[in-house]
Amino acid sequence: MLPGRVPARDGALTRADITGFHAAWARPRNTTLVIAADLNTTPVTSLIAQTIGRWHDPQPAAQPPGATPPQPSPAAVLADHPGAVQTQLMLAARIPGRGHPDWPALQVATHILGAPMTGRLDTRLRDQAGLSYCTHARLAELLPGTGLVLAGGAVTAEATIPALQDMLTIITTARDTGFTPAEHTATTGALIRTTPLGCETPGALAAITADLATSHLPADFADRSLTAIAALSPAQVTDAFRRHINPAQLTLIAVGDAATLEEPLRDIGLPAPLQVIPSAEAPLRT
């Protein structure tokens, strides 16, 4: 298990930095072994004895450095891509991680908002307004115990402002008015049907199990989540969304032509001052 966050440092990495990091963390006591196979025909015990069973570590396991996630606060960043004909928009909200009781409800809410083709975002921006080929939303967990809701997609450059306003309106409306029983029924059914498809191969199963182990979650976490999703009501999904998603606390990331986007983005009244990250040739300006 590697640390969730590597301390910041000045200067370029050296060979000593890399070998020191490997020596500290690539150790038996930091390691989780996952085997996904036909256990009736695979001699697991002998394989372990012949390979990793010989890997001994007299030193105690390294402890991951404490990582206190920053408190959520609004932010707005425009990364300059001169001459871009499209703008990549991303709205992010920090939420609790997968072990939190509200994670299944947030899965449902995020799917209602951002499922490809059928979600509220794609229905509005792609089908109705013709501003994007695909706009989506998803959950992610970057550090154990800390998750993100991510919503966004690529839009035509001239449609950046109306597309962003539509995205914010959709998120705000979901928080204000909640989710409908029809949306809830369709989404929970889709999640229950399709989630197991990601576990069909030994490789996928091993990757999922290893990921859960590094986050200190049980191997049957996916099964528990689906059981929880099946038991949710539309009101519970709406309540969880309201608890954790505040449009006034979102982080905006936009990648596009700053020469044409900077002033319009400042003019729409973002919840935080716009920071412009220049292309390689330009100085940073805020």
Cβ neighbors of 191 (< 8 A, separation 6 or more) are 107, 108, 111, 226, 229
Pairing type for strands 75-80 and 274-277 reads parallel
Q: Which of 237, 235, 233 is nearest to 105 (CA)?
A: 237
CA distance 43 to 51: 12
As a whole number of angstroms, the distance between CA 230 and CA 121 comes to 24
Give, in order, the Cα–Cα distances in Å from 163 to each of 119, 132, 215: 15, 8, 35
The pTM for the full model equals 0.79
DSSP, res 274 = E
User: What is the distance between the alpha carbons of residues 213 and 30, in angstroms, rounded to a whole number?
Assistant: 11
Residue 48's pLDDT is what?
A: 79
pLDDT tens for the chain, 286 residues long, are 555 555 556 668 889 888 888 877 777 777 777 888 887 887 888 877 777 777 777 665 555 554 455 556 789 999 999 999 999 999 999 999 999 999 999 999 999 999 988 999 999 999 998 888 889 999 999 888 899 999 999 999 999 999 999 999 999 999 999 999 999 999 999 999 999 998 889 899 899 988 888 888 998 999 999 999 999 999 999 999 999 999 999 999 999 999 999 999 999 988 889 999 998 644 555 5
Amino acid identity for residue 163 in this structure: A
**Contact present, 261 and 81 (Cβ < 8 Å):** no
* Residues 6 or more apart in contact with residue 196 via CB below 8 angstroms: 222, 226
CATH topology of domain 75-277: Cytochrome Bc1 Complex; Chain A, domain 1 (3.30.830)
Rounded Cα gap, residues 148 and 96, in angstroms: 8
Cβ count within 10 A of residue 104? 24
Give domain limits for the chain: 15-54, 75-277
